[in-house]
Structure 1
Amino acid sequence: MDVRGARQAVEQLIDRPWFQGTVIAVILVNAAVLGFETSESWMAEHGDATHAIGWATLVVFVVELALRLFAEGWRFWRSGWNVFDFFVVAIAFVPGGQASGVLRVLRILRVLRLLSTIRSMRSVVAALIATIPGMGSIAALLVILLYVSAVMSTELFGATDPEHFGNLGSSLLSLFQVTTGDDWANVVRPTADAHPWAWGFFVGFVVISTYVVLNLFIAVAVEALDRQTEEDNSEMVDEVEHHMDESTTAILAAIEDLKRQVSALEARLEARD
């Protein structure tokens, strides 16, 4: 078997569901091992076995990356997810030293390999990244709303409730708490008891900041997710067509080889006659 055929065979192996399921299972086992390593009592009793399992999972990761590198060649480095996988696995082989504590912490990033292994998770993350420009505009709108409301609440309620609205900073913090819905009634109640009309101000602020802005965030996220789903479907179609083209090429090459063998056999028969 030539190198091209070997690469096709390895690529077909990597794409098999059982292979993907095995990688996911190893990632989960590695995540559990990293969690157990944080327990001193567990490591005191089962430290050697835990380290052995951890190194075994690392060996599986290295073998999987090696197979993917062999199958994809330079195409491997075109994918940001592949580069991320290579980075989180390579961390284990960086020499220790003063930064060894930081490197040990970074090992938990291997759990994030689930994002690159499971296609649906990749789509969600890619959609979230795609929403950043739109989210930036909505975040700017929210900041403007918070600032204007903070200035108004400081002027209107600063003397009544200086703890929450005595200055611009405390007003911004209080209104942000109101936006999150975290015990916001206790923030508003002292002011509302002194100024019954204050409920209208805060209810209007909650409606605008929480519901309108939140709905805008959801709309941008859903739109990005739809676009990412379309791109993923297009990518899957391209992959299928690519595999079909490779299979067709292999079949045609086999047919040509068979024709040559038949021609050689006919030539031998004619020579005998």
Structure 2
Amino acid sequence: LRKIKKNCQGSDTSMAAAIIINNKKRARRAKLALEEPTANNTLLPPQPWEADLILRVLSGGRHWQSRRVVVTRDVIAFAYVGDNNMLDYVPLCEITAIENLEQGDQRSLSKLIFEKSVSVSNALQIQTVSDGHNSGRKYFLQADTDVQRNQLVTELQRVVRRASTELISSFKRRQMYVKRIYNSNAVQSVAALLILLNFIVSIAEAQLQSSLDNHTSSLASLFDLLNFAFTIVFAVELLVNLYAHWLREFLLNSWSCFDAVVVTLSLVTLGPLDLPISVLRALRVLRLFGRFRSLKRILAALSASIVPVLNAFLIMLIVAMIYAIMGVSFFSEMAPAEFGAFDRACLSLFRLTSGETWVDSLDKYREDGSLNYGPTLFVTSYIVIVVWVLLQVSVAVLLDNFVNHTIKLEEAEKRRLQAEQRNRAEVTSPIEPLLARLLKGHTDDADLSAKISRLYQALDKNGDGMLTKDEFCEGLKRLDARIHVSEPDFQALAQSGALHNGRLDQGIS
């Protein structure tokens, strides 16, 4: 903030971000008990302040207007320039994000501003929680230069982080710190590398199994030591994961639960119980699927393809079983080893399906050298119908559903990113939730007009046909509408006070 103040020196005071920093050490924060602004409680919070700024703020009428912005340890307060009466405030603990508006966001924002000549560069936005004092409102501020804007965002983020950490326990604060480190790309990459190394060790152990039968060999001791080290490391990693995502988030993550099962069984193998250790070691590599988004996407696409593929496989299985019954009926005496029973026939047909070209015990030719039509038609028809057609259809169904689901996942991710982009730059009216409720389900203009009339009557408590700001806000509370309307918002609704001295008249459209 000091750098911003230095950069602002010499610029137009009505357009610059002039900042006054209070350098005195402050006592420990006391809990804020701000009431809703009323006629008797509109003064700015008492000093000391973090900063006193003059910035351009996007008002309810979507015009940039110079405002006094006071940052305390608890709130960001807005007032007219040179005035101490607070127009609006945002609790720091209810701010979800303070971000620079990217170039695309600025173009979207410029389309929503009535004054087309007004620049939207060097703008930033403040997002609030939907169930807080500001009901999810977004506040847009503008600095003179990009450097000033970036410095302002950095300092405001620092103030918000401090205010947020003061409201949570030390355990939660440490947990958030550990979670941020654990979920970092570096830690996840190291964990994935250890899992891969453990898999390579398991492969080497399986390859040298004959040399490991002598448990007294140094090679067997080396593999036992490596297994013990990997088990301990993965156990520590699991405990860190459990602490970072305690507890509900951990249990709702299927990959974390899978990690817990594999690591627990690995720890059990260190004891006296006789378990298939090599199998458990090999299972550890499956934990890689939970580390990379691309692998998880492949698994999700495969899972979505299971049901259609099972339907195709069911058809193929029924046809194969019909052929197995036919084989037992016609060729049990000719080839008892392959078709002497139903299960043997199924196994023989499976060998044909997996690539074998013929059943050796079925003679293709008679003793006189002529073609043996019965076995030949049986085998060739099975290969054509099951192997060439139904199996390929099953593979095609798998690929089709896999590709389609992958495309859907990519499109969903793209829509999510686009929605976030639009959400960052979207400027909405403070009463948009109320307007959306009115527009929902209306049949025609007459029905909409009737709804508006009933709404106005519900808000107009004294029935004089006009609404003041206090009356309007109290009416919204009675309707249980979580809408935050500040004094500038109401003035914009009343066309800057041109309508009946700042009162909303039912007869004005």
TM-score by structure 1 length? 0.68
Q: What is the CA-CA distance between 1:102 and the residue it aligns to?
A: 4.0
| Residue 57 of structure 1 pairs with residue 230 of structure 2 | yes
Q: Which of residues 266, 269, 274 is equivalent to 1:92?
A: 266
Partner of 2:385: 208
* Aligned residue type for 1:96: G
Counterpart of 1:256 in structure 2 is: none
Pair 1:227-2:399 in alignment: no
The structure richer in strand per residue is: 2
- Per the alignment, do residues 46 and 143 of structure 1 end up closer, same or farther by CA in structure 2, a change over 3 Å counting? closer
Does structure 2 retain, via aligned residues, the 8 Å contact 1:146–1:175? Answer: yes
Cα distance in structure 2, aligned partners of 1:232 and 1:76: 26
Structure-2 residue corresponding to 1:176: 350
* 2:334–2:361 CA contact under 8 A, matched in 1: no
Cα deviation, residue 49, structure 1: 4.6
Alpha-carbon distance in 2 for matches of 1:236, 1:22: 29
Structure 2, gaps ≥5 residues long: 1-161, 424-509
Q: In structure 2, what is the equivalent of residue 271 of structure 1?
A: none
Matches within 5 A, 1:60-79: 60-73=233-246, 74-79=248-253
Rg: which structure is higher?
2
Range moving further from structure 2, 40-49 or 58-67:
40-49
Checking the alignment, whether the CA contact within 8 Å between 1:178 and 1:187 is kept in structure 2 is: no
What is the identity percentage for the equivalent residue pairs of Structure 1 and Structure 2? Answer: 25
Q: In the aligned structure 2, how far is the partner of 1:162 from the partner of 1:102?
A: 38
Closer, same or farther: CA 215–9 of 1 in aligned 2, 3 Å: farther
Distance 1:179 1:15, change over 3 A: same
* Residues 78 and 225 of structure 1: CA distance in aligned 2, closer, same or farther (over 3 Å): farther
**Residue type at the aligned position of 2:243:** F
Please provide the CA RMSD for this pair: 3.7
Could you tell me which amino acid in structure 1 is paired with residue 275 of structure 2?
A: G
Aligned residue in 1 for 2:191: 23
Cα offsets for 1:205-246 (capped at 9, x unmatched): 11221132222322332214542563477469869999xx9x
Deviation sequence 1:17-51 (CA, Å, 0-9, x none): 33222112211222244453852469722455544
User: Secondary structure of the equivalent of 2:258?
Assistant: helix
In the alignment, is the contact (CA less than 8 A) between 1:24 and 1:114 conserved in 2? yes
Q: Secondary structure at the match of 1:217?
A: helix
Indicate how the Cα distance of structure 1 residues 166 and 46 shifts in structure 2: closer, same or farther if over 3 A, else same: closer
Residues 158 and 166 in structure 1, CA contact (< 8 A), matched pair in contact too: yes
Q: 1:36 to 1:163 in 2, by over 3 A?
A: closer
Q: TM-score, normalised by structure 2?
A: 0.40
Unpaired runs of at least 5, structure 1: 246-273
Residues 107-137 of structure 1: CA deviation (Å, up to 9, x unaligned): 4321221222233333333333333333332
Pair 1:89–1:201, CA change in 2 (3 A): same
Structure 1 CA distance for aligned equivalents of residues 241 and 412 of structure 2: 22
Larger RCO of the pair (alpha carbons < 8 Å, separation 6+): 1
Q: Aligned letter for 2:228?
A: W
1:36 aligned partner: 205
Q: Retained in 2: the 8 A contact 1:159–1:166?
A: yes
Query: Deviation at 1:77?
Result: 1.3
Structure 1 stretch 145-154 or stretch 22-31: which is displaced more? 145-154
Specify the alignment match of 1:252 in structure 2. none
Specify the code of the residue in structure 2 equivalent to 1:69: L
Structure with the larger helix share: 1
Aligned residues: 240
Which residue type is aligned with residue 212 of structure 1?
V
1:135 to 295, 300, 309: 309
SS of residue paired to 2:271:
coil
SS in 1 for 2:275: helix
The change in CA–CA distance for 1:157 and 1:43 in structure 2 (over 3 A counts) is same
Q: 1:122-160 CA deviation, whole Å, 9 max, x = no partner?
A: 333333333333333233212221222233334444454
